[in-house]
Amino acid sequence: MDCPRCESALDRYALFGKEAVLCEDCGYLGVTVDHESEPREVESWEAAFERFREGGEERREEREGTS
């Protein structure tokens, strides 16, 4: 079996009935991963402070009973 990354021959190791593959040339370990992710929206400092101020006003109104 050849390495999916560099096409070198893979070494096989077995322990307690489990088998793993390793490529000595590139370090491939036979574990598939997905390094892609969904883009996430990042909150600006200005928006965070505005959200903080709005939350403070709402809590004050709740304490004073003026909402």
In this structure, the number of other CB atoms found within 10 A of the CB of residue 3 comes to: 19
Q: Would you state the structure tokens that stand for residue 28, as one six-digit string?
A: 């491939």
pLDDT of residue 9: 94
pLDDT of residue 16: 92
Residue extents of the structural domains in the chain? 1-31
Using CA atoms in the order 24, 26, 31, 35, what is the torsion angle rounded to 10 degrees? 170
Residue pLDDT, tens place only, 5-14 = 899 999 999 9
pLDDT of residue 67: 53
Give CA–CA dist 20/6, Å, rounded.
17
Closest to 27 in 3D by CA, of 11, 16, 15: 11
pLDDT of residue 64: 74
pLDDT of residue 52: 87
Compute the half-sphere exposure of residue 24: CA atoms within 13 Å on the CB side of its CA.
Answer: 4
Which residue stretches of the chain have pLDDT < 50? none
